[in-house]
Amino acid sequence: MSATTSSAASGPLSAESGRSPTRAVGLWLLVCCAMVLAMAVIGAITRLTESGLSIMEWAPISGALPPLSQAEWQRLFDLYRQIPEYSQVNAGMSLEEFKTIFWWEYVHRLWGRLIGVVFVLPLAWFWLRGRIERPLRRRLLLALALGGAQGLLGWFMVASGFAERTDVSQYRLTAHLALALLIYGYLFWLALGVLWPRPERSRDGAALPLRRALWVLLALVGITIASGGFVAGLNAGLTYNTFPLMDGDLIPRGYADLSPWIANLFENIAAVQFNHRLLAIATVIFAFVLWGWSLSRDLAPAAQMGFAALALLALIQLALGITTLLLVVPIPLAAVHQAGAVLVLTATLWTLYHLRGRPEAAKR
């Protein structure tokens, strides 16, 4: 088998009929990515405004409509007043104050429904017109299934705050965030395959060690984002609002207070925040090391640009995180920090996709 044939067969979107998916399909996937990014920001604002528990019903169809009468508003408010968040955090809240938090959660859920519509309707149209090749069809159906699972996981997360807690479980919140970014990354990777079909790999293998290192960085980015989910779920950003020390200590006192020890990684505010700081700094250092390494390689321009963007975005994201912490988590800045995490992931995936030997045409 020739190198060209092997590359095509191993690519994510190899076309059985020899006709590549249309550019419109790739642009549609990028629109879906942008909507998932917006969803992550809306979700962050919903959490930061303590709005996530304001809707206590799961109604995927009828829930698309907001309350249309005073009686319906009162019914929903009465439901909210039955949970611990109301009695322990928002006791005495008025109906008008309830409406403020309700609207954020409503917009969050409505945007999720809109993503479903924007994904399903064009998918059906492209499919029926034969614009999507069979390998891509299977991948898009998987994306659809992941989207449905995300909706169920979102409700599972919200339900964790109804009985005894005044907030949702940090475990379920992090799982919800992780699945959202998995969906985003998967759609973005598919879009790359449609818009930039893979060139032939270099025969000298010069980029292979760098690409392996980039896979490690991708894992580090994912772990760092997940650790941020635990920071958010524990409201850990509201304490230790100093940097680089944590209230005067390099390693905070109480880092390992919980037993068993592993519980500190997920339930101890001091440990969770310290670990997130450490992971974020490690991500920035690793990104700059790989950028410097890439400058010594003969890489395609898209890959070289990706390394530069990745390092700079990681540094900006670290600066955003530090500023958010020092200012005790202002909502606009924290929402931008959430978006920054998605952009770092985007740059990592872009670079990983384009990191291969330069096309043969460029070597001649």
* pTM for the full predicted model: 0.90
C-alpha distance from residue 329 to each of 22, 28, 43 (Å): 43, 34, 15
pLDDT in tens, 165-219: 889 999 999 999 999 999 999 999 999 999 988 654 544 466 788 999 999 999 9
**Contact in structure between 9 and 116 (CB atoms under 8 Å):** no
pLDDT at 204: 45
Does residue 50 surpass a pLDDT of 50? yes
Measured CA to CA, the distance from residue 158 to residue 21 in angstroms comes to 39
Give mean pLDDT, residues 102-129: 97
For the segment 295-305, the average pLDDT, to the nearest whole number, is 89
CA 50 to chain centre: 20
Nearest-angstrom CA–CA distance, 327 and 242 = 9
Q: What sign does the CA torsion over 230, 232, 234, 237 have?
A: positive
pLDDT of 363 reads 44
CA distance 178 to 154: 11
Distances (CA, A) of 132 to 7, 309, 350: 20, 31, 22
Residue 202: its pLDDT value, please? Answer: 46
For the chain, the average pLDDT equals 90
| Residues 65, 147 contacting (CB under 8 angstroms) | no
Q: What is the pLDDT of residue 7?
A: 39
Q: What is the pLDDT of residue 189?
A: 96
